[in-house]
Amino acid sequence: MKIRASLTRRVIGRATTVTAGIAISALALSALPANAANDPGVTDSEIVLGMQLPQTGPASPGYNKVDDAMRAYFDYVNSKGGVYGRKIRLEVKDDTYKTGLTITTASSLINKEKVFAFIGSVGTQTHLSVVKDINRRGIPDLFVNSGYSGLYTTPSKYPTTFGGLGTYVSEAKILGKYMKATFTTEKIGILYQTDDFGRNTVAGLATAGYTFEARKTAATFVAGTQAGGLDAQMTQLKDNNVDVVVVGAVASAYAAAVASANKIGYKPKKWVVISVGSDATTFQTILYTKGIPLASSAALLAGTITSSHAPAPSDATDEFVIAFKKINTDFNKGPDKNWDNNVLQGMNIAYQMTELLVNVGKTGVTRKNVISYLEKNGSSITSAGFAPLGYSATSHVAYTGFWVGAYDATTALKPVGATRQMWTTDSDAGPVTELTWTRPAIGADSLPKGFSAK
């Protein structure tokens, strides 16, 4: 059934003459609000944005810093007068990474907080539980913190949803190319969760020429069961003499896999992990809760190969890192403002959102305009990323390129070569090629180009 109706859109109008007293009050109440021409969440003085993520619970480590970082950047923008005089207010809901809760938190953001747009929401399964409804209502769903390609590669399915990360498919393709060149004799195996994340990873590696044998070189688990350990999966890979383990799973699973491998004495030559799964903060926090000291977990992470679209947070020479670190220091009011990749990602999304609001213009802040702008001009939105956004009318994929790196003993991600080499590809069967693209400089005063408070 494709017919949909927005009652709020169609029913608004003047009430007809009524005769009962009860209906007379109805007439009085039906007057339109003064700013009826504006979309929800937008006034002359404010723009309200909504976000949901696990702020608490087992899935929260690391991710729970993204919202505070975003708010810090918006507070910085507000301290400069806001975008065309409009202050940005970020309303955040904790869904604890439970999809049932995501549905109610999304409803609250839409109906109570009256958000103009969703921004930076975290989590694939959680977001999939509400994405259809958000799109149905025509609400912009921007810079989503999920790499699942299915959210972005068919805009007709989710027309208002735009990514905030590169896709797992493209990342796996680029990692696959690196592996082909690097691990010429090693036996490659994979650990993946049997859902969208894992499916994307396997698909990306397949285009790089890797196939895996079920129950031998391919070990699987159902996402959500990793808390009980992944001993069986690690034993399987060990028994099949896998030298290099690719991990297409969340960080808690990678941590569980490393812990299990450690426990059974399995020492693969390399771990190659999709970036979401190798976040250092998340990895170390989870292992810390299992009694593994930070120094030990740093040692376990060291050598792990992963990729990134953005500078490493440890890159003290990067102008975005320098700017965002300062803003984080000055404006972040969260409980854990320690600078890391999650903070960088939050700041980056807030910077992109600010640029989007700048670019649509003072009178152009409507849901329709935002979507239209991103499809027509979104690829020009600047950020800390070393690859352009892939936004167009036919794709809502964010970053189209990654560089490959390895964690050192201090949990800093360093390029695998002498210098950072960017690679680009699509989320389909296209080739992986070198990316020669120069990232635009950060705007003056750490604000996007064209920023105006008036």
Partner 1 sequence: MKTLNVRKSLAIVSAAALLVGATALAIPTAGAAAAAPTCKTDVKTNVETCTGALSNGAVYEIRVPHANFHGSMYFWAHGFRPTYAYPGYTPPNGKTVEELTPFSANTGKNITSQMLASGRAVAAFDRKTNGGYNWNAAESIPLMKELVDIAKAKYASSLKKVIIYGSSGAGPLITGFNETYPGVADASGMMAGATNVSAALRTGCDLFYLLSVFADPNIKGCAAFGAAKGVNGHMLALQQLGLAGAVLTAWSKNLGAPALEYPAAIKPYGIPQRSALLLIGLLGGLPTKSSHMDGITTNTVIAEQSINSTVAILENFQDALGTATFTGQSIGEITGAGFYDNTKTDFSSLLTDEDAARFNLGLSGDDGINLMLGALKAAPRITGTPASVANYANLYQPTYASTTPMVLLSNEADRLVLVGNAVQYNDRAQAAYQARLDKWNAQTGVKKGAKPQPNTLSIYAITPETYTKYTAAGLPDLAGAPAVSGVGHQSFTVKQSMTWVALMEISAYAGRVPSATVAQKYLAKTPYLSSDLDFRPGELKYEK
Q: Interface residues with partner 1 (CB under 8 A)?
A: 1, 3-8, 10-20, 22-23, 26, 29-32, 98-101, 104, 107, 110-111, 124-125, 128-129, 131-133, 136-137, 150, 193-196, 198-199, 220-225
Q: Where are the alpha helices (DSSP H) in 137-279?
A: 168-182, 196-207, 231-239, 251-264
Minimum CB distance to partner 1 smaller for 145 or for 425: 145
The distance of closest approach from Cβ of residue 338 to partner 1 in the complex, given in angstroms and rounded to an integer, is 30
The distance of closest approach from Cβ of residue 408 to partner 1 in the complex, given in angstroms and rounded to an integer, is 34
Minimum CB distance to partner 1 smaller for 164 or for 405: 164
Rounded to 5 degrees, φ, ψ at 220 are -130, 160
- Largest Cα separation within the chain, whole Å, is 86
- CA 249 – CA 451 distance, rounded (Å): 39
Minimum CB distance to partner 1 smaller for 227 or for 409: 227
The distance of closest approach from Cβ of residue 277 to partner 1 in the complex, given in angstroms and rounded to an integer, is 17
User: Residues 219, 236: contact at Cβ < 8 Å?
Assistant: yes
Minimum CB distance to partner 1 smaller for 6 or for 380: 6
Minimum CB distance to partner 1 smaller for 7 or for 181: 7
The distance of closest approach from Cβ of residue 227 to partner 1 in the complex, given in angstroms and rounded to an integer, is 9
**Residue for token pair 């301290």:** 79
The distance of closest approach from Cβ of residue 76 to partner 1 in the complex, given in angstroms and rounded to an integer, is 34
- Count Cα atoms within 13 angstroms, Cβ side, for 449: 7
Minimum CB distance to partner 1 smaller for 3 or for 444: 3
The distance of closest approach from Cβ of residue 109 to partner 1 in the complex, given in angstroms and rounded to an integer, is 11
The distance of closest approach from Cβ of residue 229 to partner 1 in the complex, given in angstroms and rounded to an integer, is 14
Minimum CB distance to partner 1 smaller for 71 or for 98: 98
- β-pair type (218-221, 413-415): unpaired
- β-pair type (422-424, 433-434): antiparallel
What lies within 8 Å, CB to CB, of 388 at 6+ separation is: 379, 380, 399, 400, 401, 437
The full DSSP string for 22-66 is HHHHHHHHTPPPTTTTSPTTB-SSEEEEEEEE-SSSTT-TTGGGH
Return the structure tokens found at 64.
Answer: 């729970």
The distance of closest approach from Cβ of residue 32 to partner 1 in the complex, given in angstroms and rounded to an integer, is 8
What is the H or E stretch that residue 192 is in? strand 188-193
Minimum CB distance to partner 1 smaller for 145 or for 446: 145
